[in-house]
Structure 1
Amino acid sequence: MKTLSTANVRLYLIIIGCMYAVLGFSIGINAYFIPFVQEAFTLKTATSYLIMTATFSAYVLFAIPSAILLKKIGYRNSICTSFFILASGFTLIAFSSQSASFELFLFGLFVLGIAQTLLTDSINSYVTILGSPESAAKRISIMGIADKLALAGASFILALFLDLKNVDINHLKIPFYSIAAIAVLVGVAIYFSPLPEISAPGEDSESSELDASVYGNTKSSIFQIPHLYLGAIAIFFDVGVEIIALGSINDYAKSLNLKHPEHYVWYTTFGMVFGYLCGVSLIPKRLSQRQGLVICTLLGIVTTIVILVVEPIISIYLVAALGVANSLLWPTVFPLALRDLGRFTKKGASVLVMGIIGGAVLPLIFGYLADLYEHQIAYSVCIPAYLYLLFYALIGSKLRPH
C-alpha cells in the first residue's frame, strides 16, 4: 500500500466517518422499534426482540458472500453497493406498514442487516489498514463517535414521526421512503468521491500461504489462526452486550413508566462517546489496545453486578454506564484479531463480521429473561460475555500459529 499523506488520511476518515454515521442510524432504529412494535403488532417483550435477530442474523448468512464481493469489487464499490441495499431495506419497512405485516417488517430489517454486513466489513477493514496497526483502535474510536451519535439520533428522528404513546403503523411510510431516497443519493455520492482503494500489507501477495516471517511457519487457512477465530467469538460477545445496553434501555425505561422513554438511549450513547474520547486520547500513547480492552471488560463486569443489586430506578442509569465499558471493545478487538493476516485480511474481516450475530442472540436471551423475570435480572446475561472478552484480552489475542 502506498504511503498516504496526513491530509489525505484525514479527508478519507471524514468520508468514512459519514459512513459510520449511516451505519449507526440503520442499527439505531432497532432501539426505537422494540417498544414501538410491541404496541403496533401486540407482541410480547421476547417476540419484539426478534427485531435484533432479523437484523443481525444477516451478518452470519451474508458474511461469506460479503467477503467474496469485497475481494472482487474492492472497498469503495462495496460501500456504494451497501447503500443501494440499505435503500431496499428501508423501502420494505415502509411498504410493510401498508399491509401491517410483521413478517414483511422483519424481512425489511433482514435486508438492512445484509447491507450493514457489507458496510461493516468494508469500513472497519478500511479504517484498520489506513494507518499504523498500533493506532487502529484510536481511528476506530473516532469513527465510533459518529456511529453512536447517529445510533442515538435515530430514536430522536423517529420520535418526530412515531409516537410511542399513540402507536400507528401507518406512520412508518413517510420517514422510511424518505430515508430510502437519501440512501440512494449517498451511494451515488460515494461512487464519485475521492476515496481510494487501499490494501493491507501483504494483501496483494499471490502466495497461498501466510508470511513465514510473521508466524514462524506457513499457514494456508484462516482457520489455522487462533487469534482470528477467537476474536470472532469475542466480537460475538462484544456486539451482544453493546446492543443489549443500547437497544434495551428505552424498553427498560418504558417498563418503569418513566417519562420520554425514547430518549434514554442517549445516556448509553454519551457513555460510549466518553469512552471513545478516552481511547482517542490514551491509545496508543498511554495505553496499548490490549490494556484498553482489559480495563473495559473489568468495568463491564463490575457495572453489571451492581445493576443486579441496586434499585431499578438507579440501575437504569448504570445500564447507561455500560456504554463506557462497551466503548473500546470493538475498537480494540477488531484490530487485535485482524492483525498480521496479510492477503487474508478481507476474508478475516468477514469471519469477524460473522461474530456480529451476537447482536441477535444475546438480546433475544435478554428479552426471554425479561419476560420470565424482569429487565433488571435479564442484564445478568452480560457477565459471561465480559468474562470471555477478558480472556481474549489476556490470552486469546496473543495466540499465534506455531
Structure 2
Amino acid sequence: MHKQSSFLAMIIIGVLFFIFGFVTWLNGSLIPYLKVICDLNEFEALFVTFAFYIAYTVMALPMAVILEKTGYKKGMALGLFVMSLGSLLFIPAALSGEFLVFLAALFTLGTGLTILQTASNPYIVLLGPIESAAMRISIMGLINKSAGVLAPLLFTALILSDIGSSSQLVSTNTQELAYKLIKPYIIMSIMLLVLTLFVWFSSLPELEFEDDPYDDENIFGFPRVVLGALALFFYVGIEVIAGDTIGLYGQSLGIANATALTAYTMSFMVAGYLVGVFFIPKFLSQEKALVSSALLGIFFLFGVAFSSTTESHIITGLPDSVAFVAMLGLANALVWPTIWPLALQDLGKHTAKGSALLIMAIAGGAVLPLVFGKVAQITADMQMSYLVGIVCYVMILFYGLKWHKMTGWRA
C-alpha cells in the first residue's frame, strides 16, 4: 500500500478507535444516571453494560457475513450509520423513560460498534507489515484510552452542569433528567452521520486478498484463530477486573479516593501502549511481548495477593496491594495488540470471519468479573480472590508460547 494511502488510513482508523473508546467508556457515566431515571437497583442498572456488550457476541458473525459482501471500507461506513441510528433511539427512550427502550438503543450502538471493530481491527493489522501490527494497534490503544478520559468529562459538562454534582441526581425530577439526554445524543448522531459520509466518500483503500488454498475451510478449522479468541476472552476478563474492581478493592481498604483508582490502571495501560509503539518490532517481537505480558501479569497478581494492604513502597502512593492491581494495566496493554496479528496471519479471505470470532471474545468482560465477584463473596477475601486471574494469564501464556503457531488441530 502506498505510504500516503497508509497515512490517510491510519488517520481514519484512528478516528474510529477514538469513537470506540468514547462510546464504550460513556456507559460508565450512563449507569448511575439511568439508575435514577428508571428507578433501578444495582443489578438492573448493570444491564446497561450487558445490553451493550452482548451485541458483540450476538452480532459478530452476522456482521462478518455483511462485511464480506460490502467490503471493509463500506462496512466501516455502515457501522457508523447503525451507531447514528442507535444514538437517535435515545430520543424515544428519553421521552418514554422506559428502560427497555434505552437497552434497545444501547444494543443498536453495540451492533454498530461490532461492525466497526470487526472491520477496523484487521484493517490496522493488514495496513503494513504483520511484524509491526502490534505497534500500530498500540497507537490506536492510546487514542482509544484518551477518548475514555474525555467521555465522562463531556457527559458531566453537558448533563450535570446545572445540577451541581452526581450526588444531587436523586433530588432532581426524573423526567427532566431523561430529557437532558436528548440533545447530547442528537449531537452524537449528527457527528456519526457526518463520519459515515466521510468514510464512504474517502479514498480509504479497500483490503484485497490473494486467492488462498483455504477457500473451502471453515473458520473453526484455524486453531490459531479459535484459540486466539479463547485467549482474548480471558484477556478482556482480566482487563475489566483490573480496571473495574480496583475501586471496590480500594473502598474495602478505606482508601479515600477509591472512585478515582481506575485512572491508575489506565495510566499503566498507556505506559504499556508506549512500550508497544517504541519497541515493537525493532526491539521486541510480538510473540515475546505477549509471553512477557502473561508472565508479568502472574507476577503482579502474586503481588496483589501477598503484599501489604496498608504500607506503600511503590511510587503510586497507594497501598502496595492496590498498586499491584493498578500495574495489571501494564501487563494487559500489549495483549490485545499482539494476539490480533498472530491470530489473523495468513487468513486471506477468511479474515472477516476470523475477526468476528475474536470480537465475540469481548464477552469475557461480562462473564469473568462476575466470577471474580462470586469468589470474593464466597471467600470474603477480595485480596486473595485476584488469584483467579492467574487462569487468564496462563491461557494467554499458552497462546504466546504454542497456540499461535498451530496451523492445524493435529499440529
Aligned residue number for residue 78 of structure 2: 81
**TM-score, scaled relative to structure 1:** 0.86
In structure 2, how many angstroms separate the alpha carbons of the residues matched to 1:105 and 1:370? Answer: 31
CA contact (8 A) 1:58 1:110 kept: yes
Taking only aligned residues, the RMSD between alpha carbons, in angstroms, comes to: 2.7
C-alpha offsets along residues 122-149 of structure 1, whole Å, 9 cap, x if unaligned?
1101011111111111111111111111
What's the CA shift for 1:311?
A: 2.1
1:284 to 262, 281, 286: 281
Q: Following superposition of structure 1 onto structure 2, how do residues 119-158 of structure 1 map, counting pairs within 5 Å?
A: 119-158=116-155
Aligned residue number for residue 218 of structure 2: 221
**Where does structure 1 lack aligned partners over 5 or more consecutive residues?**
212-218
C-alpha offsets along residues 226-267 of structure 1, whole Å, 9 cap, x if unaligned?
111001111111222223333445666677776676654433
Aligned residue number for residue 189 of structure 2: 180
1:164 to 144, 166, 172: 166
Distance of aligned partners of 1:51 and 1:305 in 2 relative to their CA distance in 1, 3 Å threshold: farther
CA contact (8 A) 2:5 2:204 kept: no
Aligned residue number for residue 366 of structure 2: 360
What letter corresponds to residue 390 of structure 1 in structure 2? L
Count of aligned pairs between the two proteins: 387
Aligned residue number for residue 192 of structure 1: 201
CA contact (8 A) 2:118 2:356 kept: yes
1:55 to 52, 55, 60: 52
What's the CA shift for 1:78?
A: 1.0
Structure 1 window deviating more from structure 2 (31-40 vs 345-354): it is 31-40
**TM-score, scaled relative to structure 2:** 0.84
C-alpha offsets along residues 292-321 of structure 1, whole Å, 9 cap, x if unaligned?
011111222222333344428634444332
What's the CA shift for 1:358?
A: 1.3
In structure 1, how many angstroms separate the alpha carbons of the residues matched to 2:254 and 2:189? Answer: 33
SS in 1 for 2:282: coil
What letter corresponds to residue 203 of structure 2 in structure 1? P
In structure 1, how many angstroms separate the alpha carbons of the residues matched to 2:95 and 2:384? Answer: 37
Distance of aligned partners of 1:65 and 1:292 in 2 relative to their CA distance in 1, 3 Å threshold: same
In structure 2, how many angstroms separate the alpha carbons of the residues matched to 1:138 and 1:222? Answer: 26
In structure 2, how many angstroms separate the alpha carbons of the residues matched to 1:250 and 1:41? Answer: 25
Distance of aligned partners of 1:389 and 1:293 in 2 relative to their CA distance in 1, 3 Å threshold: same
CA contact (8 A) 1:301 1:386 kept: yes
Q: Following superposition of structure 1 onto structure 2, how do residues 203-352 of structure 1 map, counting pairs within 5 Å?
A: 205=211, 209-210=213-214, 220-249=217-246, 263-309=260-306, 310-311=308-309, 314=319, 315-352=321-358
Structure 1 window deviating more from structure 2 (178-187 vs 20-29): it is 178-187
What's the CA shift for 1:94?
A: 5.0
CA contact (8 A) 1:156 1:263 kept: no
What letter corresponds to residue 58 of structure 1 in structure 2? A
CA contact (8 A) 2:265 2:327 kept: yes
In structure 1, how many angstroms separate the alpha carbons of the residues matched to 2:360 and 2:252? Answer: 32
In structure 2, how many angstroms separate the alpha carbons of the residues matched to 1:41 and 1:255? Answer: 28
Aligned residue number for residue 215 of structure 1: none
What fraction of aligned residue pairs are identical, expressed as a percent?
A: 37
C-alpha offsets along residues 302-347 of structure 1, whole Å, 9 cap, x if unaligned?
2233334442863444433222111101000111111111221122
Aligned residue number for residue 383 of structure 1: 390
**Where does structure 2 lack aligned partners over 5 or more consecutive residues?**
171-176, 311-317
